[in-house]
A = this chain, B = another copy of it.
Amino acid sequence: MTDVDIKPLSEERRLDWLRLIRSENVGPVVFRQLLERYGNPAAALEALPDLARRAGAKRRIRICPPEEAEAEAKAARKAGACLVALCEPGYPALLRSLEDAPPVLTLLGEAETFAPPCIGIVGARNASANGRRLAERIAADLVTAGFAVASGMARGIDTAAHRGALPGATIAVLAGGCDIIYPPENEALHAEIRAKGAVLSEMPLGTVPQARHFPRRNRLISGLSLGVVVVEAAKRSGSLITARFAGEQGREVFAVPGSPLDPRAGGCNQLIREGAVLIESAADVIEALAPLHPHGQAVPPAPRSLAQPGAAAIPPAPEPGNAERAIIEELLGADPIAVDEVVRLSTLPIAVVHGVLLELELAGKVERHPGNRFARLYKAPADPL
């Protein structure tokens, strides 16, 4: 495994990156595995149909055609957006270090927004006036201290955080396309962020966000950030999920406490009980982060290894046979199971297990779950009527 060599891509090579991530059953983790196995996206695209067929895909998986990728790139140019691949210098450094970092981002706005160390601020949509005031103040104080502030441009705390940060650097991470504004009353805010900060998404322009996109979006907010501040959050809320992601990603989790009598404080108080840092101000955040950026500079974690586009491929793992594939398929069920467990139970070499799971995922026969766990995808039973 080698560290990623950061360099700009030609337009043509960038389209290979785009085609691979827009192909069927290819998510960010599969993308990275394909890159490690085949060395560059073009080679992976060639190998894709065969890999999926080996795992028993009933039909050819859909590979994104060149024209489609070209059309996406053209639409982005037309909208004033740019596409940035993970290996390019414009890609946010901290985000790059995630195992499941998006291979290609669409960006609207100023590239230098990603230069300062970033803090995420998230919280309730139905935030109280006090909660909004706190989020705005914390955001304003953070940008004054030289940080950027990332949030999700939702109602409530997100909106307040962007507003507070607008004199400085602020990043809106959207679940749908960069040009799809929700809630509609944030149109002016979107324009301001675009003009002074940055709007970012891993989805193509024009994508209308769906429920399943929001957890991914939340992972990007925390992934961009040294830490995430939760301002108001009920128990069992989306902000709590973001905070848990942040913890899993090794990011600091900060929570603003509140009275037990206020249901919007329940989630934050719970986070603090679970180990989040209690904060009352931007100064508390900065103090807690001091060891991470001793001279006001973010020190991003060492980037994870990533094969180079065009670099020599790592020798591929021995190709799994049908016997091994059968053993592994047998072990998988509707409940997700950890890869380590599959290795232990199958007694197969770890490289073989990873190879089979990659093929099964491409074939749409298994689904990847958080924590490197896999579940089998079953067809719904035929309707008896």
**A residues whose Cβ falls under 8 Å from a Cβ of B:** 130, 133-134, 256-262, 265-266, 269, 272-273, 277-278, 280-281, 284
Contact = CB atoms under 8 A, between A and B. Distances in A.
A120 B257 CA distance: 23
A132 to B, nearest CB: 11
12 contacts: A130-B261, A133-B261, A134-B259, A257-B257, A257-B265, A257-B272, A258-B258, A260-B280, A266-B280, A269-B280, A272-B278, A278-B278
A265 B130 CA distance: 14
Closest 3 CB pairs of A and B: A257-B257, A260-B280, A273-B278
Given A256-B259, A272-B272, 8 more contacts: A134-B261, A257-B257, A257-B259, A258-B259, A259-B262, A266-B280, A272-B278, A273-B277
Most buried by B among A260, A280, A281: A260
Contact of A256 (B133, B260, B278): B260
A345 to B, nearest CB: 36
Contacts of A259: 130, 134, 256-259, 262, 265
A322 B106 CA distance: 85
A277 B270 CA distance: 11
Contacts of A257: 257-260, 265, 269, 272, 278
Contacts of A280: 260, 266, 269
Contacts of A258: 257-259
A268 to B, nearest CB: 8
A269, A272, A284 interface centre (most CB from chain B within 10 Å): A269
A378 B266 CA distance: 54
Nearest to A262: B259
A133 B260 CA distance: 11
A233 to B, nearest CB: 13
Nearest to A259: B258
Contacts of A277: 273
A261, A266, A278, A281 — most chain B CB neighbours (10 Å)? A278
Contacts of A273: 277-278, 284
A101 to B, nearest CB: 33
Nearest to A266: B280
Nearest to A284: B273
Contacts of A133: 261
A267 B377 CA distance: 52
A129 B281 CA distance: 25
Nearest to A138: B260
A108 to B, nearest CB: 34
Contacts of A260: 134, 256-257, 280-281
A258 B269 CA distance: 9
A258 B259 CA distance: 4
Nearest to A271: B278
A365 B273 CA distance: 47
Contacts of A272: 257, 272, 278
Nearest to A260: B280
A369 B167 CA distance: 52
Contacts of A278: 257, 269, 272-273, 278
A127 to B, nearest CB: 12
A187 to B, nearest CB: 30
Instruction: Kindly name the residue among A133, A261, A265 whose own CB sees the greatest number of chain B CB atoms within 10 A.
Output: A261
Q: Which of A258, A259, A273, A280 has the most CB of B within 10 A?
A: A259
A259 B256 CA distance: 7
